[in-house]
Structure 1
């Protein structure tokens, strides 16, 4: 069964799915590294899990796209089957939310890999949110890029991220 895809834009960051996957990616010119972070929130909006990692070669678009793939894989592996993905990059939401031609995309193979994840038997929606609603993922992505983090899964939020988690809810 193909996933039920929906693409929306929201100023509140609200999704209609059970779990929310907030993704962010970055490319650090000073560090020469990509960082990626995904935070999964439970049905009540609380922290459920997070993944982050750093890679050396890339750009901002590839970083965010790669993080979507990483986050979808993590969600699938922990048996989440209804998921609302939020990203502050409209181009990522658009390229994953429709069947546009990929002829002009340098990251065509990675886009196809993400689309392959979407063929699994689950419901996935993509929502574009303002950067101000993506503070917690941004906090982790900067950490991953700055520190050159290897792949990490976090079951509990680090204390330093609490303010960012709060901002995502109230801003």
Structure 2
């Protein structure tokens, strides 16, 4: 005699795999044929049940094709350095919630990865879009602003890019921007509007060394 747990296990085991369409179709037509005979007081021939099971199994298989698992190679990313005498400026912004405590952070390094200066700060309660736009503006102007109009922030950034200097804007993945992410989280958790770091914090030294050695990290 089958218990409820054994019956459930039986259904689960046969409801997956290549033979699942036939099993489910057979289960359905076994129940339906029983109702035709017991409730409808009619006869149903076995060959019809077999034909209906085959037809329903074909329909199920066409509606739910087997999933083909393809192993995609991981995407690797590193810190983006420069091979010339230029400097690399990495910035980021984040919020602890949506909206939540918004902070910014960033640092300037030589192309070799040597630390020049870092910074972090608290923006108040905002969202990620606002925080990430504000950090670019605050960094270039070396000051703290408290605008709440996104259009105005974008316009100011565009005006700064038109000045007499060469600037290249590149997007970097989070895994390749770990040092900046560290400072950003620091800014979100503290109430200080702007902190300047002339030397790297102790907890950042391993991250900086990994960046300087061009250690690659898999993209999550």
TM-superposed CA distance for 1:133, in Å, is 0.6
Q: Distance in 2 between matches of 1:21 and 1:126?
A: 10
Is the contact made by 2:99 and 2:125 (CA closer than 8 Å) also made in structure 1?
no
User: What are the equivalent positions in structure 2 for 1:144-159 lying under 5 Å apart?
Assistant: 144-159=187-202
Q: TM-score, normalised by structure 2?
A: 0.54
- Equivalence for 1:108: 151
Structure with more of its chain in strand, by fraction: 1
Q: Distance in 1 between matches of 2:113 and 2:161?
A: 23
TM-superposed CA distance for 1:11, in Å, is 4.4
- Equivalence for 2:215: 170
Equivalent of 1:71 in 96, 117, 139: 139
Q: Distance in 2 between matches of 1:44 and 1:121?
A: 25
> In angstroms, what is the RMSD of aligned CA positions?
2.2
TM-superposed CA distance for 1:142, in Å, is 0.5
- Equivalence for 2:81: 14
- Equivalence for 1:33: 101
Equivalent of 2:130 in 53, 62, 80: 62
Structure with more of its chain in helix, by fraction: 2
Distance 1:14 1:42, change over 3 A: closer
**Rg (Cα) greater in structure:** 2
User: What are the equivalent positions in structure 2 for 1:41-56 lying under 5 Å apart?
Assistant: 41-56=109-124
TM-superposed CA distance for 1:45, in Å, is 1.9
Compare relative contact order (CA 8 Å, sep 6+) and give the higher one, 1 or 2.
1
Q: Distance in 1 between matches of 2:175 and 2:133?
A: 19
